Chains A and B, each alone.
Chain A
Amino acid sequence: MRAARFLFILFLAACGSRTDEVVVYTSVDDLYAKEIFAAFTKDTAIRVLPVFDTEESKTLGLVHRLIAEKDHPQADVFWSGDCARSALLKKKGVLEPYRASTADAIGAEWRDPDNAWTGFGARARVIVYNTKAVKEPPKTIAELADPKWKGKIAVANPLFGTTAAHVAAIAQTRGEETALKLFAALRANDVRFVGGNSHVRDLVARGDCAAGLTDTDDVWIGKQRGDPIEMVFPDQDSGGTLLIPNSAALIQGASRAANAKRFLDWLLRIETEKLLEKGPSRQMPVRDSDLRRLRTMHVDWGRLVESEALLDKVKSTLGL
């Protein structure tokens, strides 16, 4: 009995949180997030205990977990690969407003108006094309519906991930009807809807498709392994390219709030953005002047997450 009591106390002790730790839930791939965490620990001596999502669970994993844990938060920080998930969590009352002292130089377009989350290190939605097969790549997304590309274009399933965000962003900036018409035209042009953005890149790299719609990180990874691909930032003459920044947020009721704020201050520095830029995904610093030269879509991420009805329409339009 004594032994059992001792083991129980030991178990409770093991469950208890330490003061030199911070729990970060992240939908960012563990491959390069781990490097960032190691750098933070080296700088601050605070250990990061991460919980990762996977591509396999699509968007179901961490967001559901954070909502379910709302009354008993286990996480201190949420670091997302996009802003939509953070905007959704704000709506569900999971986030606590926090303005990092190091994030003053980040423009208002990259942060939540109530400071529930802050954007940094962005990816972009781009047209990827095979350099051996295509000399004059399409410059706009609407061009992908041109008959000359019939059957040669690949797009990821628009019901999930960044493609879903892209559909919703087009609907928000150019109207729902335009977005639905665009995707119906793509369908009529025998666009191949495939499982994910990396699959789009692979089809284009192998020459099975001439071009496709994907994210910059997928293109950079392909280029690093020698794939014959290049990218175009679409719609520079009208509409603009969709940028998808990372976002970081403080969890409401976080038990290690002080460490969480230190982590956010550290993560949102320009140095961390530079670190992400050097990583395999080459994420673009949102403070960068080069990025300001790019024509981008101005998206209200808070409204973007209310797009279930739109995605239902996309689903029925495309027969998915």
Chain B
Amino acid sequence: MTRAIGFVLAAPLAGFALEAALGAGQFQLHLRAWGQTLIVAGGATLLSILFGVPAALALAHSRGRLLRTLTLFPLLLPPVLAAAAWLGARLPAPGPFGCAAILGAIYWPVIALLLEASLRRIPADALDAAALQLTPVRTARVVVWPHVRPALGAAALLVFLLAASEFTVPALFVVPTISMTIYEQMSAFRTASAASAAMPLIALAVALAWAMRRMEMIPPARAARPFLSGAPLAGVRALASVVWFATAIAPAAIFASRAGSFFPTLSMNLDAVAWSAGIAAATALLLVAWSLLSTRRSRLEPVWLATLALPGVVAGLGALQLAGRTGALPWLAPSGALLLLALMARFAFAAWLPLREPVDRGQLEAAELSGLSAVRTWWRITAPAVLPRAGATAAVVFVLVLGEIGPVVLLSPPGRLTASQHLFNLMHYGYDGVVASLALFLFGATALVTWSGMHVGRLGTNRFA
């Protein structure tokens, strides 16, 4: 069942590849675009590491949910809003380096969250032994670094991929990155050429899926064994506070100060807000339910990751083409089912990875040897480990879907408009107050859903404890 759904979720990318294969076109290398992409995505990755590492260290040494919620905020800020704010503030260098700065300031939470999960898993006995013999610097080099290196590497690669496939900021700053090239080629109906431009991104996604094959995405419920104290911890917290302030608190405060007519705006756009929330909730719940059906690793993971890493329009177009060719379009499109499918395909990896292999195989083998049925094994062993993560995972998927545009334009059922779509159109008119109100709503929804997600997780843990 899980595998069958997994194949369905791989279908949009297959649809895109099929169109590319069927469409006559010239395969090009797009070397210049890749040069610009290296500057933009490489710069964004470096900045993300600079921002994300202190934040991860501070998160690993804290218990509060507020900081983790703040960490998610920048991910929700539509990059194009950040780019517009950059231009509005007349900041210098709105070229590739400006793109890199904006994308780095948006994607650093990916580094922070993955690194935090890894930091919390450093064996306490290794840290205790190191504390007896080693200086803090040597502890960092000998114990911490080897442990977190794979997580940091994978997170950096994920940020690189996300920054390379982001389209709106390079479009606003007129930087011809590979994502711009994909859009240009698709605008000219050269799907094969668009696919050739996307191919290296798909290869990178496959490499990343391989690097992440054993990685834990969500920190364990228990607190980490602290390994920083005194001045280093204070320094890390100060740096992290600057990052949180600059990328989460300040934008939210700016939107709050400009959102003069918040409630009238929301009530005027209630249908868009309700539709956005509904489709995001449905996507999150279905994906989490699917991920809970089987917690084993899957060979389709690279395909799901590639669907996440490529521009969103690829998933939308692939789903549309495939539904058209199979004759399923009239059945799926009007109800929004096709949109739901494309959104699920787009974010399948984000839901799957955190819930994959939540318990050691040894425990499962022990349960099997003791004669526990599969259902009882799931209920007694897997569920207590997986439920706390399920809430947080659903919250992250909900937030990601709220900000999504690509598949929405291509697959929205007639009469439906999402809050993000509306927000982009309003930006065109310079209606700053309304844009600020809607952005503030998106921030508020993130905070609420993240807190609820974590609360559900905690309830689940307590119940099973």
| A residues with CB within 8 A of B | 11, 14-15, 17, 23, 29-31, 49-62, 64-65, 68-72, 74-75, 157, 159-160, 193-196, 198-199, 202, 206, 208, 221-222, 225, 280, 308, 311, 315, 320
Contact = CB atoms under 8 A, between A and B. Distances in A.
Given A29-B425, A50-B414, A60 B405 contact: no
B80 interface: yes
A30 B187 contact: no
B384 interface: no
A222 B430 contact: yes
A199 B87 contact: yes
Contacts of B411: 65
Task: Identify the interface centre among B184, B186, B413, B414: most chain A CB within 10 Å of its CB.
Answer: B414
B409 A53 contact: yes
Interface in B174-214: 174, 176, 183-184, 186-188, 190
A8 to B, nearest CB: 12
Contact of A65 (B335, B405, B410): B410
Contacts of B331: 15
A60 B429 contact: no
Contact of B186 (A60, A199, A315): A60
Interface string B72-102: 0000000010010001101000000000000
A56 B333 contact: no
Nearest to B416: A51
20 contacts: A11-B335, A31-B426, A51-B415, A51-B416, A52-B409, A52-B412, A54-B405, A56-B80, A58-B183, A60-B187, A60-B409, A62-B409, A69-B320, A72-B327, A194-B174, A196-B428, A198-B430, A221-B429, A225-B430, A320-B176
Contacts of B334: 15, 17, 74
B409 A57 contact: yes
B417 A52 contact: yes
Task: Identify the interface centre among B88, B331, B416, B424: most chain A CB within 10 Å of its CB.
Answer: B424
B290 interface: no
Interface class of chain B by DSSP: helix
A72 B190 CA distance: 23
Interface in B410-458: 410-417, 421-422, 424-430
A14 B332 CA distance: 12
A14 B415 CA distance: 14
Interface stretch (B137-145, B165-173, B363-371, B373-381): B165-173
Nearest to A88: B189
Contacts of A58: 171, 183, 187
Given A51-B414, A68-B320, A221-B429, A60 B329 contact: no
B230 interface: no
A310 B58 CA distance: 54
B324 A71 contact: yes
Nearest to B415: A49
A30 B425 contact: yes
A72 B330 CA distance: 6
Contacts of A222: 430
B87 A202 contact: yes
B330 A74 contact: yes
Contacts of A65: 320, 409-411
A49 B333 CA distance: 14
B150 interface: no
Given A31-B426, A31-B429, A56-B168, A64 B183 contact: no
Contacts of A75: 414
A56 B406 CA distance: 8
Nearest to A22: B414
A24 B343 CA distance: 23
B2 interface: no
A222 B187 CA distance: 29
Interface of B: 80, 83, 87-88, 90, 167-168, 171-174, 176, 183-184, 186-188, 190, 313, 317, 320-321, 324, 327, 329-331, 333-335, 405-406, 409-417, 421-422, 424-430
Task: Identify the interface centre among A54, A71, A225: most chain B CB within 10 Å of its CB.
Answer: A54
Contact of B174 (A70, A193, A208): A193
B414 to A, nearest CB: 4
Given A29-B429, A57-B406, A61-B409, 6 more contacts: A50-B415, A53-B409, A56-B167, A62-B409, A198-B429, A222-B430
B187 A160 contact: yes
Contacts of A64: 186, 317, 320, 410
B186 A15 contact: no
A61 B411 CA distance: 9
A49 B414 contact: yes
A196 B421 CA distance: 17
Given A57-B313, A195-B172, A69 B405 contact: no
Contact of B425 (A50, A55, A202, A315): A55
A55 B423 CA distance: 10
Contacts of A57: 313, 405-406, 409
Contacts of B422: 30
Contacts of B183: 58, 60
A157 B174 contact: yes
A319 to B, nearest CB: 8
Contact of A68 (B186, B187, B321, B330): B321
Task: Identify the interface centre among A56, A74, A193, A202: most chain B CB within 10 Å of its CB.
Answer: A56
Nearest to A33: B425
B192 to A, nearest CB: 14
A55 B335 contact: no
B425 A54 contact: yes
A71 B330 CA distance: 10
A195 B409 contact: no
A280 B429 contact: yes
Contacts of A50: 414-415, 417
Contacts of B321: 68
A70 B323 CA distance: 12
Contacts of A49: 414-415
Task: Identify the interface centre among B171, B174, B183, B334: most chain A CB within 10 Å of its CB.
Answer: B174
A173 to B, nearest CB: 22
Given A49-B415, A65-B410, A55 B427 contact: yes
A70 B412 CA distance: 17
B151 to A, nearest CB: 32
A255 to B, nearest CB: 9
B336 to A, nearest CB: 10
Contacts of A29: 425, 428-429
Given A50-B414, A64-B186, A64-B317, A202 B430 contact: yes
Closest 7 CB pairs of A and B: A195-B172, A49-B414, A49-B415, A61-B409, A23-B414, A72-B329, A308-B188
Contacts of A31: 425-426, 429
Contacts of A157: 171, 174
